[in-house]
């Protein structure tokens, strides 16, 4: 398992058996970034917008993904999505 923010943009997703993309709506992206970086919401908004302009959109990333997790809801909802994917990945492959 590899965490790589720019995996799809770099074309490296083709080197993996499965790709999971985690997305969330813009307000949550800004809030999450502000908390991680310990900065104001306005500064976080500007940085998220700057980074987003340099990357594929979530929709573009999702087109290359085998699974998409929406992290806009509660932690419990995100955990359930992850658990569902994990259960599927543990199934024997033909």
User: Which tokens sit at 63?
Assistant: 């087109």
In a domain, 80, yes or no: yes
Residue 14 in this model has a pLDDT that exceeds 90: no
What pLDDT, in 10s, does the model give residues 36-90?
999 999 999 999 999 999 889 999 999 999 999 999 999 999 999 999 999 999 9
- Name the E strands within 5-85: 20-23, 67-70
In a domain, 41, yes or no: yes
Structural domain that includes position 37: 13-89
Q: Total domain count for the chain?
A: 1
Domain presence at residue 6: no
- Cα(78)–Cα(22) distance, integer angstroms: 9
Whether 67 is covered by a domain: the verdict is: yes
CA 47 remoteness from chain centre: 17
Residue 8: inside a domain? no
Q: What is the pLDDT of residue 10?
A: 84
> So what's the pLDDT on residue 6?
81
């Amino acid at each position: 398992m590899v965490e790589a923010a720019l995996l799809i943009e770099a074309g490296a997703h083709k080197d993996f058996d499965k790709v999971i993309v985690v997305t969330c709506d813009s307000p949550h992206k800004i809030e999450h970034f502000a908390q991680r970086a310990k900065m104001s919401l306005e500064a976080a908004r500007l940085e998220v917008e700057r980074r987003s302009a340099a990357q594929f959109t979530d929709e573009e990333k999702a087109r290359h993904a085998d699974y998409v997790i929406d992290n806009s809801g509660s932690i419990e909802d995100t955990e359930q999505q992850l658990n569902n994917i994990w259960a599927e990945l543990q199934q024997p492959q033909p």
